[in-house]
Amino acid sequence: MVNKEERMIIDSYRKVSTGTSILAITSPFVPVPTDADFEFGEIRRFFSQQANQPFGEIVEIAKSTFTGLQQKSLFTVVEVRWKVSGPAEDTINVDPITGVETVDSLGIRNANEAAVRQAAKVMPAITSKLTNVFQLWRGH
């Protein structure tokens, strides 16, 4: 006998396997950073993709949906730390004696590019989804 949760998983799989869009199964979400997020400097973004389609459609989802899908083998999910405020480029310090340059803090470009590369280890096609590293950025 199949319990209610197993039935939901089977029904979801049938929808996925018959070509139904992932959008029909996971609700798309558009993050809207708050003033507190901008003050903190980053937000968490969440993405899902059908596990059997590593280069298939990727959907940005809410944290609650992400949490629910983490234990479902039908989906690959990933969390991305996304920088939303600060300078566009890295802040560089130069030692006045040696002249050696060091990165004081990552700018939006390098921080978000690094976040995309990290997420791509789990979800390779995310590099096609997150192409604008300045998305959601509030500049100085």
- Kindly report the number of other CB atoms within 10 A of residue 88's CB atom: 13
- Percent helix, strand, coil in the chain, to 5, is 35, 25, 45
Predicted model pTM: 0.78
Please give the C-alpha separations between residue 113 and each of 5, 79, 81, 94, 117, in angstroms, as whole numbers.
38, 14, 11, 24, 6
Q: What is the pLDDT of residue 140?
A: 65
What's the rounded mean pLDDT across residues 117-137? 97
Q: What is the pLDDT of residue 3?
A: 64
The residue to which tokens 């992932």 are assigned? 22
Q: For the segment 4-29, what is each residue's pLDDT rounded down to a tens digit?
A: 665 565 566 555 554 445 555 678 89
- Given a contact cutoff of 8 angstroms between Cβ atoms, the answer to whether 46 and 78 are in contact is yes
State what percent of residues in the chain have pLDDT above 70. Answer: 81
